[in-house]
A and B are shown apart, each in its own frame.
Chain A
């Protein structure tokens, strides 16, 4: 009996969290002759036409490619840059190490919205506004990821590396052959969260991009809503296109997502 009550509650929370996505999916599959306002979850004339239709009103596949480019560059830059910096902070002895750690720590303390306007001016002085490079650069090596990687390297046993030092391995060899392979779990977490953050980001691309050809998917969707709100089926199809890749990624790698929340929350 207790168990039945627990499942009833679970199903209630499930309906609240997943229901809105299902409603959106359902709307995106409804045919032109259906009443989108009627509360029917199952389309009576299911069609994929809205997915083709959304590409007729906005260049949605260009938006997808732009978002994909930004997200992938962000993933590679964060994995490489944060691992390197994290390794130096965790394993190399040098003057100025505490200063370097302080720089990254203060980077975490500054909320992005606080520097938004000023960052736009910096980007303009580099001539990078309205470019995808300008979208990627500010998050290319996130300070939080550097500290996550530093902690991951600190948690490794130092003995293996000490043996490698005796064998004459230099810092780069120890980094690439011993440290990085041992910390690949955390690197995967960094990769996942970099992808998600970049794919979902809204405020910065909104400010830095002005040309619809350069739009990422998030601002492309807001633009679609602004111009074609009358056709709810098309907006729904666009949102499903935007959220589907992340859901696939999440279902296949959910353990690492959960791990990332734990580590990010405790250190952030």
Chain B
């Protein structure tokens, strides 16, 4: 009754988009990584030349270092803080829905809006510096946006601030699945709230924590907007805060874009993100085996 091609008609729009704008570019990226193609086209097979160039390219190592530091800097706070906030908004108290909604607001704002808001707050004459000075904690403005290392840390804080609400919701969903009788049993045994948190809640939430770590690690390694906006597009003093994605964008776009080299950089990005996902799967599988 159903014609053989009917299912394919259903699939056509979706498959067309995913194949044309995701899978074809992906294969194309792998091919281009072994060529000297430029933005103008052309390009010849050059073997591993792009990867050899990478090893000698200080910009690549700086970008790889920054993206890795970013990952290391944002993952622990994003695993811990949203869990604490979720515990805080978990109980049904008057007005708790308002707090949950408010805590989620930074998630819906675009990275650009968030980046501009914090650029203004962290300006040498901005609110944060004014408050720090009024409190007498600093005598000169803190160079949040102009110092190489402080800029990176500031961008991390923005990422953490923007991610709190998102991971809070994930933890709230997971907390709903922690069996209540475990808590009660622990309470009967005389365990206080802190003890119950580490003995009952944390073990039950381990798979969720691994998931949050994986999501925030992949997103952290892919950082672009926060550093771009806080540095006004420059990537920090002398480009010292450029991330890997920023380097890909700078290398591969524009009239002088080096598409081949940018593709080789993209392959590094892909291998790292895929590796992070595989590690997560591994960790969660071991979890289930126990």
Contact = CB atoms under 8 A, between A and B. Distances in A.
Given A17-B103, A122-B25, A200-B109, A104 B14 contact: yes
Contact of A225 (B116, B126, B277): B116
Contact of A117 (B127, B215, B257): B257
Interface string B82-101: 00010011010100000111
The secondary-structure label for the interface of chain B is: helix
A124 B59 CA distance: 28
Contact of B89 (A10, A100, A196): A10
A221 B13 contact: no
Interface residues of A, number: 92
Interface string A206-245: 1100000000001101100110010010011011001100
B211 to A, nearest CB: 7
Nearest to A11: B99
B187 interface: no
B186 interface: no
Most chain A beta-carbon contacts within 10 A, residue among B29, B89, B118, B131: B29
A131 to B, nearest CB: 14
A213 to B, nearest CB: 19
A155 interface: no
A209 to B, nearest CB: 12
Nearest to B251: A117
Contact of B222 (A113, A115, A236, A239): A113
Nearest to B19: A103
B13 A81 contact: yes
Interface stretch (A42-50, A54-62, A258-266): A258-266
Interface in B59-99: 85, 88-89, 91, 93, 99
B220 interface: no
A257 B112 CA distance: 20
A85 B11 contact: yes
Nearest to B158: A20
B266 A200 contact: no
B18 interface: yes
Contacts of B121: 20, 23
A84 B10 contact: yes
A3 interface: yes
B32 interface: yes
- A contact face: mostly helix, strand, loop, or mixed: helix
A222 B10 contact: no
A199 interface: yes
Contacts of B225: 202-203
A51 interface: no
B137 interface: no
B187 to A, nearest CB: 15
Given A84-B14, A225-B116, A107 B23 contact: yes
Per CB-CB distance, the 4 closest pairs between chain A and chain B, nearest first, are A85-B14, A200-B110, A117-B252, A88-B10
Interface of A: 3, 6-7, 9-10, 13-14, 16-18, 20-21, 23-24, 27, 37-39, 77, 80-82, 84-85, 87-89, 92, 94, 96-97, 100, 103-104, 106-107, 109-111, 113-122, 137-138, 140-141, 143, 146, 170-172, 175, 196, 199-203, 206-207, 218-219, 221-222, 225-226, 229, 232, 235-236, 238-239, 242-243, 246-247, 250-251, 254, 257-258, 261-262, 265, 268
Interface of B: 1-2, 4, 6-8, 10-11, 13-15, 17-26, 28-29, 32, 85, 88-89, 91, 93, 99-106, 108-113, 116-121, 125-127, 130-131, 134, 161, 164-166, 169-170, 172-173, 211, 215, 218, 222, 224-225, 228-229, 232-233, 245, 248-249, 252-253, 257, 259, 262-263, 266-267, 269-270, 273-274, 277
